[in-house]
Amino acid sequence: MTVFEVKQGTSPVILGFPHTGTDVPADIWARLNDNGRKLADTDWHIHTLYDGLLDDATTVRATFHRYVIDANRDPAGASLYPGQNTTGLVPETDFDGVAIWNAGEEPGEADIAARLAAFHAPYHAALAAEIARVKAIHGFAVLYDCHSIRSHIPFLFEGKLPDFNIGTDMGKTCAAEIERIAVDVTTKAEGYTSILNGRFKGGWTTRHYGKPETRVHAIQMELAQSTHLQSEDLPFAYDAAKAEQLRVPLKAILTQIEAFALSKNT
């Protein structure tokens, strides 16, 4: 199976999609239990939501599901949020804390090592290559990592998640101007709620690549799925009307980030 898809563009902005894939190899599928086979923790339809919002943007999308291995987790297995409930490099449970593997068939160290080599590493090699290519064109690159999650998940957070969750690891992963664009657009977007570095501060991808001192910037956008799905339950159907409304502020964020990046072209 192809583990990633790349569409090369000439914009200084790169869109990352680590969690929209639903491919699971047959041998791994056989080990998932009925709950795991729902693939509920997918970032449903996010690549569709962003499609066409920014002309000439490069996109890098993992095609494998996060239950195979999570492309947005530290390959060393370190927790993104120490002391808080979360899921790991190869999740043992879903976002509700319920087991996803058949008893006795949970992935072990050898499985994780094999999946790192077969899935995680190739995806990040492709992403790193595109960041380097874009930076070579512009002298500046911005990775915008695209995510979504259900708006109510008591195992992970209390209450209802804001619609827009901007993550920059407390301002460490991108220029202040990039962070400000995302905050300004989302706070002014009528009918939506937003937060900066709340429950989600940027995953491993954002923290790993976002090094402003090297002129590579990264920002994560975690969207509540209630903003673009008909229901946050099976079959997680796309709501075209909701999505079109949501695409307006998303397009504004991307075009303004691109304009800022182009202004820094060396």
pTM greater than the 0.85 cutoff: yes
- The set of residues, in sequence order, having a beta carbon less than 8 Å from that of 68 and lying 6+ positions away, is 23, 24, 25, 28, 90, 115, 119
% pLDDT > 70, the chain: 96
Instruction: Let me know the angle formed at the C-alpha of 40 by 112 and 16, rounded to the nearest 5 degrees.
Output: 65
- Around Cβ 176, how many Cβ atoms within 10 Å? 10
pLDDT given for residue 157 in this prediction: 84
CA dist 40 and 236 (Å) reads 8
Query: For residue 196, which of 229, 162, 230 has the smallest C-alpha distance?
Result: 162
Mean pLDDT of 207-225: 98
User: pLDDT tens across 153-183, in order?
Assistant: 988 888 899 999 999 999 999 999 999 999 9
- The set of residues, in sequence order, having a beta carbon less than 8 Å from that of 238 and lying 6+ positions away, is 44, 45, 48, 49, 228, 229, 230
Query: pLDDT: is 78 or 179 the higher one?
Result: 179
Mean pLDDT of 189-202: 96
pLDDT given for residue 1 in this prediction: 73
Lowest mean pLDDT among 37-51, 75-89, 95-109: 75-89
Measured CA to CA in angstroms, residue 198 lies from 1, 194, 236 at distances of 36, 9, 25
CA dist 151 and 199 (Å) reads 12
- Around Cβ 192, how many Cβ atoms within 10 Å? 18
- 49 has pLDDT over 90: yes
pLDDT given for residue 82 in this prediction: 58
3-state helix, strand, coil in the chain (%, to 5): 35, 20, 50
Mean pLDDT of 66-77: 94
Spell out the domains of the chain, with CATH numbers in brackets.
2-261 (3.40.630.40)
Mean pLDDT of 32-61: 97
pLDDT given for residue 257 in this prediction: 98
- Around Cβ 251, how many Cβ atoms within 10 Å? 15
